[in-house]
Amino acid sequence: MEILDSSVAAEVADKLLEIQAIRLQPENPFTWASGWKSPIYCDNRLSLSFPKVRNLIKEQLVRSVMHYFPDAEAIAGVATAGIPQGALIANDLELPFIYVRSKAKGHGMENMIEGKVSPGQKVVVVEDLVSTGGSSLKAVEDLRKAGFEVLGMVAIFTYGFDIADQNFKNSNTKLICLSHYEALLPRAILKNYITDETLKSLSAWRKDPSSWTP
């Protein structure tokens, strides 16, 4: 995993905190679908409701694609949160847009990939959030099975788990993110969203999320 730019990482973290797309509450943790207790909740879909934040994210994701994947011939969003971000990027770059379902549609054409499937086409995948990378990399696998050449993935935010780094490495998929957990915590301290004491708990979760307790 690579970060596009440290100053962008800080700015994006600030904006996500400001609009409450990211919430930090170690004293009253969230429960993920995996059963993990988490002091952080990230819903980047909220950024779509704030034009200035939406445009900041779009511009930096476009910059990521242009810098790291200049040969891109199409943009693919991961359903569901990656769809609007991907469509915005594709529109700016004047590239075809497709999206990948979590599972094939149960009627009609029963598509897994929506849009024009062009085997051999070089595609960049767009995701809003990367945790372990499981669902994101499933989309990559589905695209490859359909005949696309996946150049890599761009995302808004990642928790930066070691398991995610390993999963992307095993999948031979390059991941570029605008911001990450390491950039978030200093900004949260600076902006008074958390205290130094809270920081200890948040840092402990990042090191061992599966067994963390508040």
Q: Does 129 appear as a known binding residue?
A: yes
Instruction: Please indicate if the annotation marks 127 as binding a ligand.
Output: yes
**Is residue 180 annotated as involved in ligand binding?**
no
Cα–Cα dist 131/148, whole Å: 24
> Is residue 131 a known part of a binding site?
yes
- Which residues make Cβ contacts (< 8 Å) with residue 194, sequence separation at least 6? 24, 185, 188, 202
Contacts of 107 (CB under 8 A, 6+ apart): none
What lies within 8 Å, CB to CB, of 170 at 6+ separation is: none
Binding site annotation covers 165? no
How far is it, in rounded angstroms, from Cα 57 to Cα 8? 9
Q: Annotation-wise, does 107 bind a ligand?
A: yes
> Residue 126: helix, strand or coil by DSSP?
strand
| 54 annotated as belonging to a binding site for a ligand | no
Annotated binding residue 134: yes
Residue 128, marked binder: yes
Cα separations (Å) of 25 from 20, 118, 149, 180, 214?
Answer: 12, 45, 40, 17, 10
Residue 125, annotated ligand binder?
no
Is 135 annotated in a binding site? The answer is: yes
- Numbered residues of the known binding site: 101, 105, 107, 127-135
- Numbered residues of the known binding site for 5-phospho-alpha-D-ribose 1-diphosphate: 101, 105, 107, 127-135
- Numbered residues of the known binding site for orotate: 131
